[in-house]
C-alpha cells in the first residue's frame, strides 16, 4: 500500500521543515469550488443528446447560408462526389486509373475464390465487385478504401447461411437467403449511420478484432485444404479438429498429386511476390498482379495438359453477363425473413467494423477527416442496392485498399475504374476462367488471409493489457476450435465483460504528498510520497453510478479501517479526516450520492470528518441539489487536496501536519 501513516509521522518534520506554518498559509490562498448556474431540463437534455449523437455538429456548414446554397450542400452531404468532383483533374485521374487497374487485377481472382467461401457460384463474387463499388464511389467519403467481397465476411456469411439451408441440396433457397441477409445488412449499416449510432461498433474492442481476424484467417486457410489437396469428401464443419480429421482420413486415397503440385507451386510464387512487395514498396504492383498472373498461367497449363481428366478440379462455367435483378428473390415475408434479418445484422456489423477501421487507418495516413456516419450510410446503401442486383455483403478490403493506396489513388474514382474492368470481365472474359483450377483459387485465398494474422499486435496487446489479451485469445480460440459464430460471440462477450468490470469495480488510490511540494499523488506510483498523519486521502478514478456506488463506499471504508489498525498498533492517533479527491469523478447519480451519505454516517460514528476536493461541474451541481453539501458543510469542500490538508492541519495542529 506504499509508505504508511506511521512512517509518515517519523519523517514529517523533514518533509515540512521548509514550508510555512499552517497559520501562515491561511484563507487568502484558498479558493471556493464554483457552483454552476442552474440549467433547465430541456437545455440539459438537448446538450446531452447533441454531445452524444452530434458531437461533430453536422449542420455547421448550413448555418448562415442561402436556401439555394443549403440545397447544394444537402446534395453534397449525401453524395460527396459532387463536392470533390469539382476540383477533379487529369493528374488525379492518372493516379486513379493506375490504382483502379491494379486493384482490378487483384480483385477478379479473389472474388471468384471468396464466393466459394460464401458457398455461392463464382459469378456472384464478380457481381459484388461491380455494383457496390459504383454506389460507394458516389456516396463514400474515403479516398483510399477499395470495395468488394472480403474473406472474413464471406466465411461468416457462408457459415451462418449454411446453418439454415444446405447450399448443395437447395442452392436457389440458399441464394435467396444470401440476398435477404445482404439487404438487412445494408439496412442495419444505413440505420446506424442515419441515427448517428456509430459508437456502437466501438464496443467490439481492438483486441477482440485482432483475435477474431487471426482465428478467421486460420479457419479460412484450413477450409482451402479441400481445393489445395484435391479432396472430394470434406467436412462441412469449420473448427480445426474436424478439418484436420477430414484431411487425415482422406490422406491415403483422397489427395490428388497434380492438384497439390499446382497449388504448392503457385502458393510459393504468391508468397514470394508478397515478400518482394514488402521489401521494396516501389514493387507493390508485383503482389497486386501476381494472383491474376497465377490464374492465367494455371488455367493455360490445365487447358493444354487436360489436367481436369487427371482429377484436377476446375471452376467450369462462370455465368456470362452483368448482374441480373434480384429484388423478387429477397424474402420480405415467411420464415426466412427473420433468419435473413438475424444473419444480416451480424454480417453487417462485422463488415461495418472492418470498413470503418480500414477507412480511418488510411485517412490518418493521408491526414484527412473521415465522416464515420457518412461511411455507414454509404456502405448500407451499396449493400441494399447490391442485394437487389445479385450481390452479397461487401465492405472495404484491407489488402485491396493497401494496394489502392500504394498505387497512388487520389479519389474514389479508382473504385469506378475497378468496377468498369469487372463489368468488361463479366461481359467478355468469364468463359476463359472455365479451366481455372480450384487449387489456384485456394492458393490465392491462403496468401491473402495470411496477412490477417497480426501476431505483432497480439504481442503488443499482451505487453499493454493482460485482460485485452484474454479477449484476443478468447476470440481467436473460439473461431479456431469452435466456429466463426462462437468466436464472434466470445469476442463480444469478453469486450462487454471488460466494460462491466471497469464500471462496477473502479480503481481507487491512496494519495501522499510529494516531498517539498504541495502535490499529492498515488503512493503506489510514487513511493517517495508520504501520507499526512491524521488524514487519509483517497482518489476515486471513475464516475460513481448505481453499478459501482456500493463498492466505492465499501472500498473507502476498508482503506479507513486498514489505516486505523496500523496506526493503533503503532500507538499513534487514528484518522481524523478523510479527504476524497473527486477530480476524476466525471458524474454521479442518486445511488452514488446515497452511498456518500452512508459513508458520511459511517465516518461520523468513527469520529472521522468527510472532506471533498475538486468536484466537477456535474458532481457539485448534484451534490447541492441533493442537500448533501449542507449535510457535510460547505466548509468541507475545497478546490485542491492541498487546500483541504491545509485546513485540516489548522484545525488539529497537534495531530495533523
Shared-domain flag, residues 435 and 511: no
Q: What is the pLDDT of residues 231-282, one digit of tens each?
A: 988 988 889 999 999 999 998 888 999 999 999 999 999 999 999 998 998 8
Q: Which of 131-145, 190-204, 566-580 has the highest mean pLDDT?
A: 131-145
Does pLDDT of 49 surpass 70? no
Shared-domain flag, residues 231 and 104: yes
Q: What is the pLDDT of residues 581-619, one digit of tens each?
A: 999 999 999 999 999 999 999 999 999 999 999 999 889
Shared-domain flag, residues 558 and 485: no
C-beta separation of 267 from 446 below 8 A:
yes
For residues 11 and 138, what is the distance between their CA atoms, to the nearest angstrom?
Answer: 71
C-beta separation of 215 from 239 below 8 A:
no
- Domain assignment of residue 484, yes or no: yes
Last residue of a domain, one of 496, 515, 534: 496
Shared-domain flag, residues 139 and 101: yes
- Domain assignment of residue 380, yes or no: yes
Beta strands 508-513; 535-540: pairing state: antiparallel
C-beta separation of 639 from 646 below 8 A:
no
- Domain assignment of residue 468, yes or no: yes
Q: 480 — phi, psi (to 5°)?
A: -70, -40
Quick one: 530 exposed, middle or buried, by C-beta within 10 A (0-12, 13-18, 19+)? buried
Q: What is the pLDDT of residues 53-67, one digit of tens each?
A: 555 556 566 666 788
C-beta separation of 150 from 114 below 8 A:
yes
Shared-domain flag, residues 209 and 110: yes
Does pLDDT of 517 surpass 50? yes
- Domain assignment of residue 18, yes or no: no
Shared-domain flag, residues 546 and 635: yes
Q: How many domains does the chain have?
A: 2
- Domain assignment of residue 4, yes or no: no
Shared-domain flag, residues 114 and 245: yes
Residue 583: CATH number of its domain: 3.30.750.24
Shared-domain flag, residues 166 and 215: yes
Shared-domain flag, residues 202 and 348: yes
Last residue of a domain, one of 461, 477, 496: 496
- Domain range for 255 is 89-313+324-496
Mean pLDDT, range 102-120, rounded to an integer: 95
Q: CB neighbours of 461 closer than 8 A, spacing ≥ 6?
A: 206, 207, 210, 468, 469, 472
Quick one: 137 exposed, middle or buried, by C-beta within 10 A (0-12, 13-18, 19+)? buried
- Residue 507, SS3 per DSSP: coil
Shared-domain flag, residues 309 and 355: yes
Last residue of a domain, one of 443, 472, 496: 496
- Domain assignment of residue 58, yes or no: no
For residues 490 and 412, what is the distance between their CA atoms, to the nearest angstrom?
Answer: 36
Does pLDDT of 14 surpass 50? no
Task: Please tell me whether the overall predicted TM-score, pTM, comes out greater than 0.85 for this model.
Answer: no
Shared-domain flag, residues 447 and 561: no
Mean pLDDT, range 30-39, rounded to an integer: 65
Angle at 23 between CA 21 and CA 28, to 5 degrees: 115
Mean pLDDT, range 472-484, rounded to an integer: 92
Shared-domain flag, residues 465 and 579: no
- Domain assignment of residue 285, yes or no: yes
For residues 568 and 560, what is the distance between their CA atoms, to the nearest angstrom?
Answer: 12
- Domain assignment of residue 49, yes or no: no
Q: CB neighbours of 81 closer than 8 A, spacing ≥ 6?
A: 137, 138, 139, 412
Amino acid at each position: 500500500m506504499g509508505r504508511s501513516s506511521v512512517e509518515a509521522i517519523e519523517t514529517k518534520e523533514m518533509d515540512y521543515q521548509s514550508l510555512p506554518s499552517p497559520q501562515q498559509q491561511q484563507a487568502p490562498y484558498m479558493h471556493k469550488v464554483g457552483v454552476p448556474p442552474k440549467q433547465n431540463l430541456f437545455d440539459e437534455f438537448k446538450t446531452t443528446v447533441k454531445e452524444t449523437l452530434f458531437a461533430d455538429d453536422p449542420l455547421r456548414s448550413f448555418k448562415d447560408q442561402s436556401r439555394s446554397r443549403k440545397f447544394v450542400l444537402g446534395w453534397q452531404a449525401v453524395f460527396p462526389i459532387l463536392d470533390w468532383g469539382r476540383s477533379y483533374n487529369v493528374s488525379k485521374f492518372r493516379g486513379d486509373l493506375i490504382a483502379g487497374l491494379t486493384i482490378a487485377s487483384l480483385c477478379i481472382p479473389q472474388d471468384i475464390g471468396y464466393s466459394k467461401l460464401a458457398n455461392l457460384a463464382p459469378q456472384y463474387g464478380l457481381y459484388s465487385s461491380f455494383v457496390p463499388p459504383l454506389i460507394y464511389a458516389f456516396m463514400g467519403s474515403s479516398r483510399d478504401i477499395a470495395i468488394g467481397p472480403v474473406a472474413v465476411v464471406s466465411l461468416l456469411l457462408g457459415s451462418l447461411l449454411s446453418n439454415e439451408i444446405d447450399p448443395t441440396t437447395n442452392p436457389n433457397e440458399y441464394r435467396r437467403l444470401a440476398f435477404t441477409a445482404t439487404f438487412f445488412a445494408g439496412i442495419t449499416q444505413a440505420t446506424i449511420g442515419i441515427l448517428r449510432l456509430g459508437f456502437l461498433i466501438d464496443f467490439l474492442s481492438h483486441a477482440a478484432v485482432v483475435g477474431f481476424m487471426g482465428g478467421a484467417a486460420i479457419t479460412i486457410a484450413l477450409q482451402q485444404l479441400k481445393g489445395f489437396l484435391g479432396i472430394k469428401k470434406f467436412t462441412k464443419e469449420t473448427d480445426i479438429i474436424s478439418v484436420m480429421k477430414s484431411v487425415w482420413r482422406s490422406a491415403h486415397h483422397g489427395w490428388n498429386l497434380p492438384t497439390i503440385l499446382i497449388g504448392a507451386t503457385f502458393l510459393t510464387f504468391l508468397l514470394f511476390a508478397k515478400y518482394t512487395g514488402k521489401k521494396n514498396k516501389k514493387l507493390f504492383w508485383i503482389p497486386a498482379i501476381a494472383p491474376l498472373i497465377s490464374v492465367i498461367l494455371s488455367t493455360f497449363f490445365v487447358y493444354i495438359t487436360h489436367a481436369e481428366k487427371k482429377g484436377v478440379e476446375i471452376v467450369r462455367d462462370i455465368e456470362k453477363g452483368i448482374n441480373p435483378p434480384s429484388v423478387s428473390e429477397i424474402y420480405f415475408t415467411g420464415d426466412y425473413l427473420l433468419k435473413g434479418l438475424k444473419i444480416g445484422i451480424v454480417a453487417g456489423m462485422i463488415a461495418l467494423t472492418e470498413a470503418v477501421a480500414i477507412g480511418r487507418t488510411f485517412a490518418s495516413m493521408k491526414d484527412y477527416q473521415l465522416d464515420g456516419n457518412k461511411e455507414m450510410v454509404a456502405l448500407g446503401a451499396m449493400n441494399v442496392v447490391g442485394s437487389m442486383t445479385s450481390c452479397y455483403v461487401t465492405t472495404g478490403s484491407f489488402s485491396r485498399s493497401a494496394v489502392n493506396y500504394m498505387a497512388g489513388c487520389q479519389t474514389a474514382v479508382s473504385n469506378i475504374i475497378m468496377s468498369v474492368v469487372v463489368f468488361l470481365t463479366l461481359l467478355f472474359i468469364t468463359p476463359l476462367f472455365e479451366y481455372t483450377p480450384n487449387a489456384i483459387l485456394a492458393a490465392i485465398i491462403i496468401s491473402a488471409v495470411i496477412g490477417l494474422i497480426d501476431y505483432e499486435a497480439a504481442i503488443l496487446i499482451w505487453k499493454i493489457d493482460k485482460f485485452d489479451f484474454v479477449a484476443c485469445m478468447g476470440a481467436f480460440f473460439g473461431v479456431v476450435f469452435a466456429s466463426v459464430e462462437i468466436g464472434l460471440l466470445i469476442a463480444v462477450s469478453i469486450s462487454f465483460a471488460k466494460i462491466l468490470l471497469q464500471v462496477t469495480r473502479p480503481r481507487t488510490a491512496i494519495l501522499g504528498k510529494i516531498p517539498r511540494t504541495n502535490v499529492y499523488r498515488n503512493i503506489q506510483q510514487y513511493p517517495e510520497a508520504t501520507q499526512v498523519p491524521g488524514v487519509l486521502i483517497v482518489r476515486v478514478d471513475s464516475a460513481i453510478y448505481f453499478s459501482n456506488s456500493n463498492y466505492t463506499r465499501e472500498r473507502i471504508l476498508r482503506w479507513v479501517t486498514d489505516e486505523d489498525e496500523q496506526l493503533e498498533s503503532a500507538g499513534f492517533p487514528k484518522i481524523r479526516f478523510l479527504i476524497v479527491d473527486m477530480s476524476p469523478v466525471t458524474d454521479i447519480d442518486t445511488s452514488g450520492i446515497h452511498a456518500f451519505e452512508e459513508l458520511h454516517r459511517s465516518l461520523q460514528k468513527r469520529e472521522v470528518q468527510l472532506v471533498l476536493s475538486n468536484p466537477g461541474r456535474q458532481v457539485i451541481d448534484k451534490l447541492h441539489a441533493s442537500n448533501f453539501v449542507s449535510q457535510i458543510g460547505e466548509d468541507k469542500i475545497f478546490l485542491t487536496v492541498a487546500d483541504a490538508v491545509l485546513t485540516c492541519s489548522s484545525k488539529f495542529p497537534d495531530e495533523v501536519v
